Amino acid sequence: MAKGEKKGGIEDLEKKISQTLLFLFPTIIIIFYFVFRETDFRILFATLNYRYVSLLFVLMIVIWLVNALRFSLIVLFSKSKLSFKKSFKIVLASIFGANITPFYSGGVPTQVYFLSKFSQTIGRAVAISAVYMILTLIVYLVFSLVLFFAPRGFITGLKQDFFMGLAAFVFFLSFFAFFFMRYPKKAEKIINWVYRALLHKSGRAERIKKGISEFSEGLDFFLSQNKFSIAVTILLTLGAQCLFFLITPVSFLALGIPFSFWEVILTQIAVQFTTSIGASPGGIGVMEGAFAAFFRSIAGGKVAQITLLWRSATFYIPTLVGAFFFYRLLREKE
């Protein structure tokens, strides 16, 4: 690609992101107001245990480092070269890309864009990003089973029934995603039937089939690795997700709210699954609402404070840090 064309591509990308942010920031402000309008921030900051707040920041950074490590290992296993520092920047940039798009869908394209810019062909970049996403699907399968078979004493009543339904939904969603990737030809037939027989459309079907084909190649590439490589990347992904779940109990400790550890962890798994149905960019509004609704019985009158603290550690701060690295990478030379 010519130099002038590449510059134009970057300018187009920046323009699209700027348009997205014009919608995103006012939306965040409005939701922030309605969710936290009754929160007394002076009391909140006065009652915080800053040792646990510091631990929240440590957890965030460790999670980023673990994700960067598994990303760099996927690149290494693909017999490519990318420094850990660059992997770290791309992972943080992809958090920003995911958090400003519906269903967190911008994470993979962001990874593909920067991988192809710095070290990879488009095909290999897609395969690496697909493997990164496939590992997340594997983790979702594991934790859906954890939630489904968890002892019934921790979660009871209507909440338990809802969590079981949510776990089953995520399990089958992940299962069908793997089925489509493993058998792309069968997936194409199903997609064609859905779009032509039920929706009477075909244009979007082609884009979906192309995406499935790319992820299918990524899955084949992942399964072609040796067992040790697969085990290491899966364990790192599980580790990163477990650390992510720890943000919630640490947030409870920071606010001095008494809680049952396993009840909080299992509830947090259910909250995380709502990302599958949160169509707004970064799950804005959906995640705040789900977290507050699920944890109201545990946090009581401090549910707004715990929601703010948790969402800051899992969305607001990572998005801002990711935006910094995103724009830094845009301006870095190849």
Output phi, psi for 197, to 5 deg. -80, -35
Using alpha carbons only, what angle is made at residue 103 by residues 187 and 238, rounded to the nearest 5 degrees? Answer: 85
Q: What's the predicted TM-score (pTM) here?
A: 0.83
Amino acid letter for position 177: A
* Residue whose entry in the numeric block shows the structure tokens 């979702």: 140
Encoded amino acid at 292, one letter: A
Residue 132 CA: distances (Å) to CA of 49, 59, 107, 207, 259: 35, 21, 10, 21, 34
CA-closest candidate to residue 178, choices 187, 169, 188: 187
Number of H helices, E strands in the chain: 14, 0
Residuewise pLDDT in 10s, the chain (334 residues): 434 434 444 455 566 666 676 667 777 777 777 767 767 777 778 889 999 999 999 999 999 999 999 999 998 888 788 999 999 999 999 999 998 888 787 888 899 889 988 877 777 888 888 889 888 888 888 898 888 787 766 665 556 777 777 788 888 878 877 777 777 777 667 766 766 665 555 555 566 666 667 667 777 777 787 888 889 999 999 999 999 999 999 999 999 999 999 999 999 998 888 876 667 777 888 888 889 989 999 999 899 899 989 999 999 999 999 999 999 998 887 7
C-alpha torsion angle, residues 25, 27, 30, 35 (rounded to 10): -110
Read off the tokens for 305: 């404070």
**Listed residue (156, 176, 172, 135) closest to 262, CA to CA:** 156
Q: What are phi and psi of 226, to 5 degrees?
A: -70, 160
Cα–Cα distance measured from residue 192 to residue 179, given in angstroms and rounded to the nearest whole number: 16
Using alpha carbons, select from 109, 121, 140 the residue that is nearest to residue 274.
140
pLDDT of residue 154: 64
Those residues whose C-beta lies under 8 Å from the C-beta of residue 170, and which sit 6 or more positions away, are 140, 144, 273, 276
HSE toward the beta carbon, residue 317, CA cutoff 13 A: 14
The answer to whether 150 touches 260, Cβ cutoff 8 Å, is: no
8 Å CB contact between 109 and 92:
no
Q: Which two tokens stand for residue 216?
A: 């299918």
Pairwise CA distance, residues 284 & 282, whole Å: 5
Please spell the DSSP secondary structure of 4-29, one letter per residue.
HHHHHHHHHHHHHHHHHHHHHHHHHH
Closest CA to 247 of 170, 305, 313, 312: 313
Asked if residues 257 and 302 have their Cβ atoms less than 8 Å apart, the reply is yes
